Amino acid sequence: MKRPLKPGVSGSARFVTCDGVQVARLRLDRWWDVATIDGRPSMAWRPLVMIGINPSDAGGDEDDNTSAKFETFARREGATGTVIVNIHPAISKDPDAIGDILLPYGCDDDNWEAVDAALCENAVAIVAAMGKPPKGLSSYRDRVARLKRIAADVGVPLMCFGTNGDGSPKHPLYLPNATPIVPWWRSR
Q: What angle do CA 53, 58, 62 make, to 5 degrees?
A: 150
How many CB atoms are closer than 10 A to CB 93?
9
The mean predicted confidence, pLDDT, of the chain is 94
Q: What angle do CA 168, 174, 179 make, to 5 degrees?
A: 75
Non-local CB neighbours of 70 within 8 Å, separated by 6+ positions? 48, 50, 82, 84, 129, 172
Non-local CB neighbours of 62 within 8 Å, separated by 6+ positions? 2, 3, 4, 5
* pLDDT in 10s for each residue of the chain, 188 residues: 899 999 999 999 999 999 999 999 999 999 998 777 777 777 678 999 999 999 988 999 999 999 999 999 999 999 999 999 999 999 998 899 999 999 999 999 999 999 999 999 999 999 999 999 999 899 999 999 999 999 999 999 999 999 999 999 999 999 999 999 999 999 87
Closest alpha carbon to 24 in 92, 70, 78: 92
State which residues form the domain around 47. 3-185
Closest alpha carbon to 146 in 111, 121, 183: 111
Query: If DSSP codes are grouped into helix, strand and coil, which group holds residue 12?
Result: strand
Backbone φ and ψ for 144, nearest 5 degrees, come out as -65, -40
- If one counts the domains in the chain, the total is 1
Q: What is the pTM of this model?
A: 0.95
Backbone φ and ψ for 67, nearest 5 degrees, come out as -65, -35
Amino acid at 52: G
Backbone φ and ψ for 86, nearest 5 degrees, come out as -140, 150
How many CB atoms are closer than 10 A to CB 72?
11
CB 88, CB 98: distance < 8 Å: yes
